Amino acid sequence: MNQENGDIVSPSPAIRLDGVSYRANHTDIIKKVSGQFPTGNITALIGPSGAGKTTLLKLCNGLISPVQGGIYIEGKRIEEQSPLSVRRHVGIVLQSSPMIQGTVQANLALPLQLRGKTLSEEQAIATMERVGLPTSLLTRDARELSGGQKQKVSIARTLLNESKILLLDEITASLDPSSLQEIEDLIVKLKDTEKITIVWITHNLEQANRIGEYFWVMVDGQLREVGTKEEIYASEDEDVKRFVKGVLS
């Protein structure tokens, strides 16, 4: 990682987009977006509602395909990799995490089952510890967990997939302040100790301010500003200025 002029420039970005556009229902939703998510950093992806943030994350793990441009995961074009391997490598966690019927252990076993493997007792216990959940929850009905606990199980599933890149879409939006803090701490810990690259969409600019090391600001399907907090704050784009006014500091 080079840091030149305060700008974070990753020589080998986790994800790079090159002129990416996406259309649906005759509408341009993502418009020629080029940029990168630096390896081993938390990028806060911010912007007004409808800016195209969720659509961008779906493009980055191959759930949808661009109509134009290229997406590279660790230097390799997404289309040249199998959809399963992309989805394994690039995990995604959403605002609410659906649990399958059954115990927490059964939910943790799911990603391994999809690869024809089984979850050992030791692996289940170690994974619960990695995400800060008591192992006594392993035998509980997953659908009875609290919102924060479900988010941790969902993060645990990506760890069992050995995802090296984690895309987070508003994962704390429906949590109480103490669960929110726990999830923030967990993600920062995973980034620090396991070198996982994080792209985190949040509407909460105070949260972006706390966790973001690099920022993407999207407005109207375009990437209007990227960089460090200082660079975003110094943006000359009127929409960016209005959006971050007084909050990132």
Ligand X SMILES: Nc1ncnc2c1ncn2[C@@H]1O[C@H](COP(=O)(O)OP(=O)(O)OP(=O)(O)O)[C@@H](O)[C@H]1O
Three-state secondary-structure class, residue 130: helix
Site for ligand X (CB under 6 A): how many residues? 12
Interactions with ligand X, residue window 52-111 (CB under 6 A)? 52-55
Q: Does 27 bind ligand X (CB under 6 A)?
A: yes
Binding mask 144-183 for ligand X (x = CB under 6 A): ----------------------------------------
Q: Does 29 bind ligand X (CB under 6 A)?
A: yes
- Give the sheet arrangement for strand 15-24, strand by strand: 27-37, 15-24, 68-73, 76-77
Q: Which of 54, 87, 56 is nearest to 157 (CA)?
A: 87
CB of 57 to Mg ion, least distance (A): 8
Residues 63 and 1: their CA atoms lie apart, in Å, by 29
Cα distances from 210 to residues 94, 102, 128, 134, 194, in angstroms, run 20, 36, 25, 27, 20
Interactions with ligand X, residue window 195-214 (CB under 6 A)? none
Q: Identify whether the C-beta of residue 35 lies closer than 8 Å to the C-beta of residue 17.
A: yes
Binding-site member from 1, 9, 24, 125 for ligand X (CB under 6 A): 24
Kindly give the pairing relationship between strand 42-46 and strand 197-201: parallel
Binding-site member from 19, 50, 75, 83 for ligand X (CB under 6 A): 50
Q: Does 25 bind ligand X (CB under 6 A)?
A: yes
Residues 36 and 213: their CA atoms lie apart, in Å, by 13
* Residue 212 interacting entry, from Mg ion, ligand X, none, C-beta within 5 to 8 Å by type: none
CB of 51 to ligand X, least distance (A): 4
Q: How many CA atoms lie within 13 A of 101 on its CB side?
A: 0
CB of 214 to ligand X, least distance (A): 18
Contacting residues toward ligand X, per CB under 6 A: 24-25, 27, 29, 47, 49-55
